[in-house]
Structure 1
Amino acid sequence: MKFKNLTHKILRPRPSAFISQQLDRFLGQIKPRPFFTDYIINAYNTNAKKRISKNSLTLSVLTDTHAKAVASASYYGLNGARHIVEANKACDDLPIDLNVNLGDMIDGSDKPEISRGLLEFAVENYQNSKHSFYVLEGNHDENDKYDEHRFISSASFNRDDYYQLVTKKVFDQPEISRLNSVSKIGWFDKGSVRVIFLNTSDIPYILNGNTKKYDFKKVRGVREQQLEDLITVLEKTVDKRVVVFGHANLISPSGRSALNFNGDLVQKVFTSFNNKESGLLKNELTGDFGVNLHYDFNDTGISQISNYICGHMHYEKYYKVGGINHIILNCSALMGKKHGLTTDYNKKWDRRYNEVSELAGYFIDIDPDKMLLQIFGYGSATRYVSFEI
């Protein structure tokens, strides 16, 4: 037993005293600013409240917060974690059903002990808020950006780090449904509305020596087991209005896969579900991303998947493929106009620290009575757009 405990400590060392102090100093700076919480509450009350009915499902949504242990006034930094704290604080006083983060909660470029601390801090804030929450895994959340930049010879996150810090705590909530203890598909119901959460960073953790076979930051995909679970959930979805959320965009406007693996197969599942079809879902791959599955959506009543909503691209865009609206939301993280990686979309917003343009967030309302999905943006986000469900 002593040998096992020692091995555990070697694999997952405790942060040094210096790093612990550094982390505490960073986290101590993350406090909500009353101006921003008041602004978010006012955005809901003036823009969203009058359009929302009692039977609808309402979400507070952030994506791509890219929290990083830097006090940056023009780019990624502690502002991302602060946006989570401020949105959750504001929503404690609002009739929200679920707080959602669509992934890339951290930038993944800090020392692993600090990145773990930022993830833990953010999840604890979601846990301490008054509403249930769902956090999706983004391609930055496995800390591979740190591995890339440091050219280190071993993976900085262990296999289950993200699961233990984030996913397990999401699924510990009784309000969040899950097929089984290993499924990566989750869902949340309210009346005749169902929201399903899909993991687009479903990449196997395989080591070649000490380095990962796949770079989570660069590779996005959905594996057979998750597709099988998605099919199972949808086969049992009867007379529901369904909206699916993920981190990364699944397909391009032309219908080609936007994931490295199987985005087009997810789209095929969506359209087959809407058409009440049965058949075979298959690709030409073998190994890690091969797929060969049967589906039968004949007994799902009037259920329809109307919209897929994601982040990842750091801009806003809407397009329709095969009857499904694909909706991309802007990043919450501050992107100053003079930074090389800042998208043209965010340059046009001219985002500035301590001004409302610093953040970007959304209230998303799914109304089964009006048959409408409404998106109310604030900060560097479109104020209103709606889609049929």
Structure 2
Amino acid sequence: MNNKTYENKMPIYLKETVDQQIAKARELQNNKTISFSFFTDPHITEASTFADIEAINYINNNMDIKFTACCGDNLDNGITKQIHLDTAAKLINKISFDNYFTVKGNHDDNSIISNGTDNVKYTMIPQEQYNIMFKRLEGIVKFDESNREGMYYYYDMPEYRVRAIFLNSIDIPYIKNQYNKAAWKYDGQNTYAYSNTQLNWLAHIALNIPDEQWKVIFFTHVNPFPEEMIGADNLVYNGTVMLDIIDAFKMGTKYNSIATTGDFGQSVSVDFSSQGLGNVIAFFYGHTHSEQVLTRKGIKYISTWNDVPRKSLSNPNAPTRMIGTTSEICLNIVTVNFDLNKIFITKVGVGDDLVINMS
């Protein structure tokens, strides 16, 4: 779905590989599949080459995919707030199609600057990030109407009976430090959370699917399931509640959380029994800069190598990266085959193709 006149600006050194992988992915497609492109952690700066974005545009314009999903850290850290805002706008303006869906990453608000001593003046607050990066999706996706600046939403593909749910794992309150008004009490760089509002939206709206034939797929930045995860750091406030909601949906059961109070207080009560067993395709995440497939209660949690062209420090098996070569990017064409119950990931750039059993 294009909203601009497409101009092919993909670097020549990528074209042969990208064309080869598009051809390979096309062979996996049939009337029992759905395809989308996926990548994570591009960490764009004002000095970035944007080769990855041009390749994403090229893929979108040269094969049948339903959307592109980026699992956060769209941006790296800007020297100033204005540079950060300008880079965010530049990134979005380079996208040549409508269905570019992203989530908020922990680098995206720029709150890392000055190590938290006076980071208020550097931070892209939720209203600003929504206006630049998410407002363009109004009419395409379904936001929480009561909290659009929460930046979580879903996208329906009724012809496939599939709902893609995009979660915000950096859904934190922007409260100034009681003793230093130049700094935040919590910053998006180091504080990960699902708010009570988002949890209840997921439980009562996003997972209230049209009928039991529908399937869901999740995207977020920080995986709320840290066990055995390479590169895990800070825990996600209410991450366990998020997982419990998803588990209850999958099992078709009731769920009542243990209510908490405070800045991350939550209380969720939901009953999925009338919907029957829920079908979860997979849960895609980013943040760790590590390629890994985990299984939790029958659900696959999937991440791939970071798109930003620097070697991951979290995984000793990470490939070496070099700008100006095919290792500069890490993009993925994902094809879900419902008959085979498999997910095929065709790599564009660094890494090897993957075949993952959905259950």
Shorter-chain-normalised TM-score: which range? Answer: 0.7 to 0.9
Are positions 1:50 and 2:27 aligned together? yes
Deviation at 1:103, TM superposition (A): 0.8
Are positions 1:140 and 2:107 aligned together? yes
Deviation at 1:158, TM superposition (A): 4.8
Structure 2 residue aligned with 1:68: 45
SS at match of 2:237: coil
Looking at structure 1, the residues matched to 235 and 69 of structure 2 have their Cα atoms a distance apart, in angstroms, of: 22
Per-residue CA deviations over 1:271-315 (Å, capped at 9, x if unaligned) read: 1111111131235x3112111111010122453124211011001
SS at match of 2:357: strand
Looking at structure 1, the residues matched to 62 and 145 of structure 2 have their Cα atoms a distance apart, in angstroms, of: 33
Are positions 1:382 and 2:359 aligned together? no
SS at match of 2:88: helix
Structure 2 residue aligned with 1:9: none
Structure 2 residue aligned with 1:342: 313
Looking at structure 2, the residues matched to 68 and 345 of structure 1 have their Cα atoms a distance apart, in angstroms, of: 26
The change in CA–CA distance for 1:306 and 1:60 in structure 2 (over 3 A counts) is closer
Q: Find 2:294's aligned residue among 319, 324, 338.
A: 319
Looking at structure 1, the residues matched to 119 and 268 of structure 2 have their Cα atoms a distance apart, in angstroms, of: 38
Structure 2 residue aligned with 1:20: none
Q: Counterpart amino acid of 2:310?
A: M
The change in CA–CA distance for 1:257 and 1:82 in structure 2 (over 3 A counts) is closer
The change in CA–CA distance for 1:372 and 1:315 in structure 2 (over 3 A counts) is same
Which one has the bigger helix percentage?
A: 1
Contact 1:247–1:311 at 8 Å: present in 2 too? yes
Structure 2 residue aligned with 1:175: 140
Per-residue CA deviations over 1:89-139 (Å, capped at 9, x if unaligned) read: 33211111102211101112432111111111111222x33x512111111
Deviation at 1:258, TM superposition (A): 6.2
Q: Find 1:223's aligned residue among 195, 199, 223.
A: 195
Deviation at 1:245, TM superposition (A): 0.8
Report sequence identity in percent: 21
Are positions 1:156 and 2:122 aligned together? yes
Q: Counterpart amino acid of 2:250?
A: N
Q: Counterpart amino acid of 2:207?
A: L
Pairwise mapping of residues 51-130 of structure 1 onto structure 2 (< 5 A)? 51-70=28-47, 78-79=48-49, 81-126=50-95, 128-129=96-97
Looking at structure 1, the residues matched to 68 and 238 of structure 2 have their Cα atoms a distance apart, in angstroms, of: 28
Contact 1:235–1:299 at 8 Å: present in 2 too? no
Looking at structure 2, the residues matched to 276 and 295 of structure 1 have their Cα atoms a distance apart, in angstroms, of: 10
Looking at structure 1, the residues matched to 51 and 69 of structure 2 have their Cα atoms a distance apart, in angstroms, of: 15
Looking at structure 2, the residues matched to 214 and 162 of structure 1 have their Cα atoms a distance apart, in angstroms, of: 17
Are positions 1:359 and 2:329 aligned together? yes
Looking at structure 1, the residues matched to 190 and 89 of structure 2 have their Cα atoms a distance apart, in angstroms, of: 24
Q: Find 1:242's aligned residue among 204, 212, 216.
A: 216
Looking at structure 1, the residues matched to 99 and 192 of structure 2 have their Cα atoms a distance apart, in angstroms, of: 27
Q: Structure 1, unaligned stretches of length 5 or more?
A: 1-30, 71-77
Q: Counterpart amino acid of 2:46?
A: A
The change in CA–CA distance for 1:194 and 1:158 in structure 2 (over 3 A counts) is closer
Pairwise mapping of residues 261-340 of structure 1 onto structure 2 (< 5 A)? 261-283=237-259, 285-336=260-311
Q: Counterpart amino acid of 1:166?
A: M
Looking at structure 1, the residues matched to 233 and 189 of structure 2 have their Cα atoms a distance apart, in angstroms, of: 17
Q: Find 1:40's aligned residue among 18, 24, 48.
A: 18
More divergent stretch after superposition (105-114 vs 181-190): 181-190
The change in CA–CA distance for 1:258 and 1:235 in structure 2 (over 3 A counts) is farther
Q: Structure 2, unaligned stretches of length 5 or more?
A: 1-8
More divergent stretch after superposition (159-168 vs 235-244): 235-244
SS at match of 1:154: helix
Looking at structure 1, the residues matched to 176 and 358 of structure 2 have their Cα atoms a distance apart, in angstroms, of: 45
Structure 1 residue aligned with 2:227: 253
Looking at structure 1, the residues matched to 114 and 11 of structure 2 have their Cα atoms a distance apart, in angstroms, of: 33
Per-residue CA deviations over 1:320-354 (Å, capped at 9, x if unaligned) read: 11222111221100114xxxx734446x4121121
Q: Counterpart amino acid of 1:66?
A: H
Contact 2:292–2:303 at 8 Å: present in 1 too? yes
Q: Counterpart amino acid of 2:106?
A: N
More divergent stretch after superposition (207-216 vs 51-60): 51-60
Structure 1 residue aligned with 2:164: 195
Deviation at 1:51, TM superposition (A): 1.4
Instruction: Give the aligned CA root-mean-square deviation in angstroms.
Output: 2.5
Deviation at 1:264, TM superposition (A): 1.3
Q: Counterpart amino acid of 1:148?
A: N
Deviation at 1:257, TM superposition (A): 10
Contact 2:118–2:182 at 8 Å: present in 1 too? no
More divergent stretch after superposition (305-314 vs 85-94): 85-94
Contact 1:68–1:110 at 8 Å: present in 2 too? no
Structure 1 residue aligned with 2:5: none
Q: Counterpart amino acid of 2:36?
A: L
Contact 2:333–2:347 at 8 Å: present in 1 too? yes
Looking at structure 2, the residues matched to 218 and 205 of structure 1 have their Cα atoms a distance apart, in angstroms, of: 13
Deviation at 1:372, TM superposition (A): 2.6
Contact 2:226–2:235 at 8 Å: present in 1 too? no
Looking at structure 2, the residues matched to 221 and 356 of structure 1 have their Cα atoms a distance apart, in angstroms, of: 35
